[in-house]
Amino acid sequence: MLKPLSLLLSNVVRDGNLTFIDTQGAAHAFGNGEGAPVVVRLADRRLEWHLALDPEMAAGEGYMSGRLRLEKGNVYDFIALMMRNLADHPFPGYSQRLAFLRRILRRAAQYNPAGRSRSNVAHHYDIDPRIYDLFLDPDRQYSCAYFASSGLGLADAQLAKKRHIAAKLALAPGQRVLDIGCGWGGLALYLAHTTGAQVTGITLSEEQLKIARERADALETGSGAPAPAFVLSDYRAISETFDRVVSVGMFEHVGLPHYRTFFDTLAKVLTPGGTALLHTIGRTDAPAGTNPFIARYIFPGGYIPALSEIMGAVERSGLVVADVEVLRLHYAETLRAWRHRFLANRPAAVAIAGEDFCRMWEFYLAGSECAFRFQNFVVFQIQLTRRVDALPITRDYMGEREQDLMRSDGEVAQRPLGVAARRSG
C-alpha cells in the first residue's frame, strides 16, 4: 500500500476494525480491532493515490466504478466507520486545505441562474421515474420524514411531515398557497385536500410536473377546494401574491449567491398577513463546501447551509422569523428506510439504470444517512412572516391544529392522493 494512504488511514481510523487489501493482495489493518470487520479491496494503484490525495471524492468514485469493493461489511458499514472516526480525527492537513479551497469556491460552484438551475434539477429529478418508485413511499415524498412517534413506518412518517407543515402554516379554507419546489405534488395535494386551500405548485422538473398534473387531474378534494395547479417555473419568475408560501427540500438547490433573491422573493409574494415555512437541510457547525462526490454526481449546484448563512439573508429581506425547529435524526431514519427499500429492489434498479448507477445511488444514500447520523447535518423548519402579529403568540396552535389534522386525514394514510405515484413501465 502506498505510504501516504497508509499514514492517512492510520491517523484517522483509531476505533473499529478496518482492513484494506491493496493491489498486491496484502492486508493492512486499521483501528483497535473492535466491532464487526469491514474489509475493503482496492483494484489498482491509481485508486490508492486518489484515496490518499482526495478521499472524499475517491471513495465514492471508486465504489461507483467497482474499483473499491467491500469484501466484508457493506458500503454503509464502511462510511459509518470512517465518519465516526473523522469526528475526532479529521483528515490530515493537505486534505483540510482541499476542503478549505472548496469552501472558498463554493459561491462560484453554486451560482445558479435560471437556466443552470433547470439543468441541475434535470440531472437528478428527470432520470427514469421508476427509480423513485423503488425506494420512496407511495406519495413520493423525497424529503425528510417526521417520526412523530416510535415505530412509524416510512409512509406514516411522511404523512406526519405533511401534517406538521400544514399545522405550522395555520391554513384556512380558500387561502392561496404557493409551493416552491413542489416535487411530484404530494404536499400540494395534501394541503388542498385537508385544508381547502387553493394551492399552486412550481417545479423546474418536466418529469415531476407531468406526474403532479396527472395526480391533480385525478384528485377529488374532500374540502371542495379546487385541485392544485402545477406550473413549470423558477421561483424568481413568480409575481402573484399568496397568503402562504411553503418550500420543502428545494432551498438546498438555491445556491448561496441567491439567498438574498430567494428571501426577497418570499417577502414580495407574501400578503401582509402571510406566513411562509421553509424546510431545508442545514448544518449545525460553520459553513463548509459541498461534498465533492455529491456535487459532481448527485446534486450539482447544491449546498447545505449553516443557519447563520440563512439568517443573514432573512434579516436583509425584512421578513420576521416566527419560529425555528431543528429536526435531529429524522432524516437519518428517513434515509435508512430509503436505503433498505432500494437494496430490496436492487435487481429492478439494475435492470432500469445499470450497475454503475446502482452503486452510485447506494453510496449517495449510505453517505447521506451517515452524515445525518454521525456528523453535523440536521433539518431546519423556519417559519417566516411579514408582520410580527401575523400568528398567535404561543406555539400551542401548532399542536392543536396537528391533532385536528390527525383526526381528519385518516383516509390519506390509506392511499396516496391522486393517481399512483407513477405507472411502471
**Catalytic annotation, residues:** 370
41 has which bridge partners? 21, 69
CA–CA dist 132, 73 (Å, integer): 26
For 20-71, the three-class secondary structure string (H helix, E strand, C coil) is: EECCCCCEEEECCCCCCCEEEEECCHHHHHHHHHCHHHHHHHHHHHCCEEEE
Place of cell 420576521: 320
CA–CA dist 291, 158 (Å, integer): 26
Can you list the alpha helix ranges (DSSP code H) found in 148-296? Answer: 154-169, 186-195, 206-218, 259-269, 292-293
Closest CA to 40 of 57, 14, 15, 62: 62
Query: 176: exposed, middle or buried (C-beta count within 10 Å: 0-12, 13-18, 19+)?
Result: middle
Do residues 257 and 286 touch, judged by C-beta distance below 8 A? no
The H or E element that residue 1 is part of is: none
Q: How many Cβ atoms sit within 10 Å of the Cβ of residue 130?
A: 17
Do residues 415 and 127 touch, judged by C-beta distance below 8 A? no
Do residues 194 and 173 touch, judged by C-beta distance below 8 A? no
Q: Which residues neighbour 79 within 8 Å (Cβ) at sequence distance 6 or greater?
A: 59, 363, 366, 367, 370
Distances in Å between the alpha carbon of 301 and those of 14, 105, 112, 285, 293?
34, 12, 7, 21, 12
Do residues 314 and 77 touch, judged by C-beta distance below 8 A? no
